[in-house]
Amino acid sequence: MSTTAALIETEYRLGAHNYKPLDVVLSRGEGVYVWDIEGNRYLDCLSAYSAVNQGHCHPKIFKAMIEQAQKLTLTSRAFRNDQLAHFYEEIAALTGSHKVLPMNSGAEAVETAIKAVRKWGYEVKGVAAEKAEIIVCSNNFHGRTMGIVGFSTDPDARSGFGPFAPGFKIVPFGDIDAFREAISENTVAFLVEPILGEAGVIVPPVGYFAGVRELCTKHGITLILDEIQTGLGRTGKLLAEEHEGIEADVTLIGKALSGGFYPVSAVLSNSEVLGVLKPGQHGSTFGGNPLACAIARAALKALTEEGMIENSARMGERFQNGLRDIRSNIIKDVRGRGLMLAVELVPEAGGARQYCEALKARGILAKDTHGDTIRIAPPLVITEDQVDWAIEHFAAVLASA
C-alpha cells in the first residue's frame, strides 16, 4: 500500500530517525511547485535547503542530464573526461577563480578546504608542524561530517559524537574585535558563512566582512566563505560576498550547483591554496564525473541566462516587504537578503513548527528552524503573483495567532 500514512509508517519503522519532516509525501515537482501523492499542490518555500534555486525539474538541466547519462556517467579521475575542462572554464569565468576542485556534497567541499588550507599554512605560510588553527563562528553550520561537527556549537550536532579533531577556535559571528583577538601566528584560515543559514538567516552587521577581509589580508589568513547555501543567486547576487564588497580567497559552493538533480560541490580558490594538493593527497570517486559536470554546466547556464539572480533580488525585496507589512503580535523579526528570508516569532507564539503545519494546510511548505524561526527560501523563479499569494497566506496564518 502506498498511502501517505503507510509510507510514513514504513519510513519510521525502517529508517533512522535523524530527521523530523513535515508529514507530506511528495512525488512531483515543477518550477516553484511540488505535489504530494494525494495530488495536493504546494508552493515550495524551502527549495531543498536552497539546492533547487533553478526550480524543480528545470527542463534544460534535465535535458543535459539525460543526454550525458546516455553517453558517459562516471570515469573516476583515474582517466579524463570531456566535460570536466568545460566545467572548470565556465565556473572560473563566472566567478573569477583560478583553481577549482570538484566534490559532491557540501560537507565534502568544506572538508576539502580545511585540508587544503592547513597544508597551505605549513607549506606557504610557514606555520609550525601540526599547529595550524582555523577560526570559525559560533552558531555555524557547515555540514555533518566528523571534522565539521567537531567545531559546531549546536549541542544536537555534536553531543555524543566526540572525540573531535583539534585546531579550531570559535568566535561570535559578527564581532570583529573577537575575530581580531583570536588571530595568532598559527591562524591559517577563517571559515565563515556570509549569512548564517541554519542558525536562522543571521545577516552580519554592516562593515563586518570588510573588517574581516582587511584583517585576513594583513595577517596572511585565508578567508574561506562557505557559500554553499548563500551562493548561486540565493541572496540576489551570484555570491553573497558581493553584498559586502569583498572577495574571498576560497569560496565553497554546492547545492544549487546542480539545480537539485545530483550532488555537486566545488572548492574555488586562487592558485596558492588549491595548488598545494598533489596527486594522491585528495580525491573522490564521483567528484568531477562527467554527469555531474554536464549537470552543473546546465545549472549555471540556467541561473545566469534566465535572469534568476536578478529575479531573486527583486522578488526577495517584494517578499521581505510583504512580510514586514503583516500586522501581527507574534512576529519578532523579519530578515534576510534576496530570497533567503526568515520570520522570527516571539517565544510566546509557542514555536514555529505549528505555523509551518498551518502553512502546509494552505499549500505552502516552509521549514521551522531553531524553535522560533520560519525559513523562507523559494526557488528563484518565483513570480510576483506567487509572492503576493504567499504573503496573503503567511498573513492569514501569522495574524490569526
Ligand X SMILES: Cc1ncc(COP(=O)(O)O)c(C=O)c1O
Pick the stretch among 71-79, 140-148, 292-300, 358-366 that binds ligand X (CB under 6 A): 140-148
DSSP annotation of 56: B
By the rule CB under 6 A, 142 interacts with ligand X: yes
Q: Which is nearer to ligand X, 81 or 140 (CB)?
A: 140
H helical segments located in 132-279: 146-149, 155-158, 176-182, 208-219, 241-244, 271-274
Q: Which is nearer to ligand X, 111 or 344 (CB)?
A: 111
Pick the stretch among 76-84, 138-146, 284-292, 338-346 that binds ligand X (CB under 6 A): 138-146
The four Cα atoms 204, 246, 297, 226 give a dihedral, to 10 degrees, of: -40
Whether residue 368 lies in the annotated active site: no
Using CA atoms, how far apart are residues 355 and 371, in angstroms rounded to an integer? 11
Whether residue 44 lies in the annotated active site: no
Using CA atoms, how far apart are residues 358 and 355, in angstroms rounded to an integer? 5
Q: Which is nearer to ligand X, 330 or 342 (CB)?
A: 342
Choose the catalytic residue: 44, 226, 249, 372.
226
Whether residue 226 lies in the annotated active site: yes
Residue from 44, 226, 249, 344 that binds ligand X (CB under 6 A)?
A: 226
Choose the catalytic residue: 44, 119, 141, 169.
141
By the rule CB under 6 A, 287 interacts with ligand X: no
Binding residues for ligand X, rule CB under 6 A, total: 15
Using CA atoms, how far apart are residues 321 and 327, in angstroms rounded to an integer? 12
Residue 381, all three cell numbers: 523563479
Using CA atoms, how far apart are residues 111 and 109, in angstroms rounded to an integer? 6
Using CA atoms, how far apart are residues 29 and 299, in angstroms rounded to an integer? 17
Contacts to ligand X from residues 320-379, by CB under 6 A: none
Length of the chain: 401
Compose the 228-247 pattern: x for residues touching ligand X by CB under 6 A, - for all others: xx------------------
Helix (H) or strand (E) holding 384: helix 384-399
By the rule CB under 6 A, 197 interacts with ligand X: yes
H helical segments located in 70-145: 84-95, 106-120
Output the smallest distance, CB 140 to ligand X, in A: 8
Output the smallest distance, CB 228 to ligand X, in A: 4
Residue 42, all three cell numbers: 504546494
By the rule CB under 6 A, 107 interacts with ligand X: yes
Strand pairing report for 41-44 and 33-36: antiparallel
Q: Which is nearer to ligand X, 226 or 330 (CB)?
A: 226
DSSP per-residue codes, 207-223: THHHHHHHHHHHHT-EE
Q: Which is nearer to ligand X, 213 or 375 (CB)?
A: 375
Q: Which is nearer to ligand X, 56 or 142 (CB)?
A: 142
By the rule CB under 6 A, 139 interacts with ligand X: no
Residues forming the site for ligand X (CB under 6 A)? 49, 105-107, 110, 141-143, 193, 197-198, 226, 228-229, 254
Known catalytic residues are 141, 226, 255
